[in-house]
Amino acid sequence: MSETAATALDSFDTGRTGTPIGPALTVGHAERWDDECDLLVVGCGLAGATSALKAAENPAVTVIVIDRFDGGGSSQQSGGVLYLGGGTPAQQELGLTDTVEGMVNYLSLETGNAVSRDALERFSRDNNAIIAWLERFGIRFGGPATEAKTSYPSRDYLYYSGNERLRESTAVAPPAPRGHRVKPRPGGGGSGLSGDDLMIPLKNALDAAPNIDFQRRTSATRLLRDVSGRVCGAEVRQIPPGSIAARLHRKLMQANGNMTLAMLGISRPMLLAALAIERSKGRPRRIRARDGVVLASGGYMHNRRMLAEESPTYRHVAPMGTAGDDGSGIMLGRSVGGACARLETVSAWRFLYPPAGWSKGVLVGPDGERIVNEEAYGARTGAAMFERAGGRAWLVLDDPLLKLTRRQAKDRALLGYQRMTIGAALSLYTKSAPTLAGLARKIGLPSDTLTQTILQYNGDIESGRPDQFGKASTLCTPILKPPFSAVDLSHYTRLNPLLGITVGGLKVDETSGAVLDENERPIAGLFAAGRTAVGLPSNLYVSGLSLSDCLWSGWRAAEAATAAGGSRLS
């Protein structure tokens, strides 16, 4: 599909479970409005909440923030990890050294050309201000820190959340732990993911702010422009607040968001029921936004039709986030000529830790050849699986490694979802055989190639040669003792899903967040933030980089949009 702006109505298709998006409408000065504000924010995940709260710091600015559900979005379902560094208070308190230059050099490897080095430098310099701003709402950071290789720390709050310790990374910057997991809020959290501890204080602040109107169960269906072409508001559909329909919609979406139900494939009927309420009970309203509109409604991972068109390689990835990630924000931007980039880029995650012993195995594709450094962050592993192996891969272990990982899978420190998915992988998706050739036949791989792959791996270790993929020598363990086993980690393992998010979106100006058209010109009155826009994680994702980008881009959009208010600004 073209990266340029789309104009046809059928280009605004958000799929069976998305919000229908209509073409933009030009309105005159005599238009009757149901509501008015200075800034309208569409979507209330971290990017939207940040935009609203940042704009409302000026008491003269009025903000309306709308959300299709109850607010929080994918950010509230997340692990609540922000990628921050350069010498944050948490790093300093624990005696951990980091610099802005080191952070920028490392992030340059991960972000590629998705953003400029200047943007990375500005983001990295702003990290301490980001932490201070969040702390104003009672959000806490700190230790303890961990050196352990983990996809998510169950008991620690500062960790190496990316590829900082890989060989190519240490060549450009000293490694530093930059994954800042939000600490439990008083009276809540502490036993699971930290997304609640991040988003609940921000949503409470939205409700408490006198100049913010937080409208739940409200979806933007088209953008409105004035006669000059400037975006001046949006048409929305809202389920009447306090109605029976609103209460039922909330309960259905709470059940739909249950991870266990989603993995078992029984949450979809609840989503369809909620969608039916939206379409039958939603009432049209028009909201005027004098300074402009910020689109912050997430990516498009839950729009399976759009995923198949834009990124067919990743069409089998299990979607992370909420049903609100339907591409509606991207479609709204396109409806007024907004250009897109990197829509084909999906970050799909297959972690080989925990259990830590998995990273000592050998990950092979359908051709029996090794595909990745097994200690790499899960997004790199997922990318290798899809780009090189069609989303299919098996982890080869010998008997001691299998026994080690079975013991590690019983660690009480693991979170519930970790125990469930690892347990399923080891019990339901693992096959064994007395020989490598026999194992290959069992899982349908070419026996000669698989055998040669393992022999080459063992030979490099025994001769002291560096690992061909750069794996640390401490993780290089020969695969020698039968029986040999293969853990199927392919995309189709339902009870150990391969999850992902989209990271492309609307093109934006890096200094203002203004949406750009196909000629790189800003569209007046329209801004985008978070996963609705191209940003820091739009090349290679590491844990916490998306949330940090949501916050930083939300700040940027709010400041640029409300600057149009001129004399109102303090």
Cross-strand pairs, 363: 395
Spatial separation of the C-alpha atoms in residues 246 and 485, rounded to whole Å: 51
Cross-strand pairs, 220: 236
Q: How many CB atoms lie within 10 A of CB 527?
A: 34
Q: What is the pLDDT of residue 16?
A: 75
Closest CA to 317 of 462, 466, 498: 498
Pairing of strands 231-238, 218-225: antiparallel
pLDDT range class, residue 9, cuts 50, 70, 90 = very low
Residue that the structure tokens 């509501």 belong to: 35
Question: Is the confidence at residue 536, as pLDDT, over 70?
Answer: yes
Spatial separation of the C-alpha atoms in residues 134 and 383, rounded to whole Å: 32
Q: Please give the mean pLDDT across all residues of the chain.
A: 93
Given the candidates 1.20.58.110, 3.30.70.60, 2.60.40.420, 3.90.700.10, the CATH classification of the domain at 351-488 is: 3.90.700.10
Average pLDDT of span 505-530: 98
Spatial separation of the C-alpha atoms in residues 61 and 64, rounded to whole Å: 10
Residue that the structure tokens 């229908």 belong to: 20
Spatial separation of the C-alpha atoms in residues 255 and 224, rounded to whole Å: 34
Instruction: State whether the Cα torsion 222-226-228-232 is positive or negative.
Output: negative
pLDDT range class, residue 191, cuts 50, 70, 90 = low
Question: Is the confidence at residue 570, as pLDDT, over 60?
Answer: no
Residue type, 525: G
Can you list the alpha helix ranges (DSSP code H) found in 149-194? Answer: 167-170
Average pLDDT of span 479-507: 97
Spatial separation of the C-alpha atoms in residues 441 and 330, rounded to whole Å: 46
Coil, strand or helix at 372: coil
Polymer length in residues for the chain = 570
Q: What is the pLDDT of residue 3?
A: 33
Which secondary-structure segment (H or E) carries 270? helix 268-281
Spatial separation of the C-alpha atoms in residues 334 and 310, rounded to whole Å: 15
**DSSP states of 407-427:** HHTT-TTS-HHHHHHHHHHHH
Q: What is the pLDDT of residue 18?
A: 82
Spatial separation of the C-alpha atoms in residues 193 and 325, rounded to whole Å: 20
What separation in angstroms does the CA of 325 have from each of 73, 157, 169, 206, 322?
8, 28, 32, 21, 6
Average pLDDT of span 328-343: 98
Q: What is the pLDDT of residue 261?
A: 67
Question: Is the confidence at residue 431, as pLDDT, over 80?
Answer: yes
Question: Is the confidence at residue 5, as pLDDT, over 50?
Answer: no
Q: Which CATH architecture has domain 9-77+193-239+282-347+500-564?
A: 3-Layer(bba) Sandwich (3.50)
Spatial separation of the C-alpha atoms in residues 530 and 558, rounded to whole Å: 12
The DSSP letter of residue 119 is H
Spatial separation of the C-alpha atoms in residues 153 and 543, rounded to whole Å: 11
pLDDT range class, residue 568, cuts 50, 70, 90 = very low
Spatial separation of the C-alpha atoms in residues 361 and 341, rounded to whole Å: 36
What tokens does 501 get?
């998010």
What percentage of residues in the chain have a pLDDT greater than 70? 95
Average pLDDT of span 173-198: 88
Q: Residues 112-141: pLDDT tens digits?
A: 999 999 999 999 999 999 999 999 999 999
Report domain extents, the chain.
9-77+193-239+282-347+500-564, 81-181, 351-488
Coil, strand or helix at 10: helix
pLDDT range class, residue 311, cuts 50, 70, 90 = very high
Coil, strand or helix at 310: helix
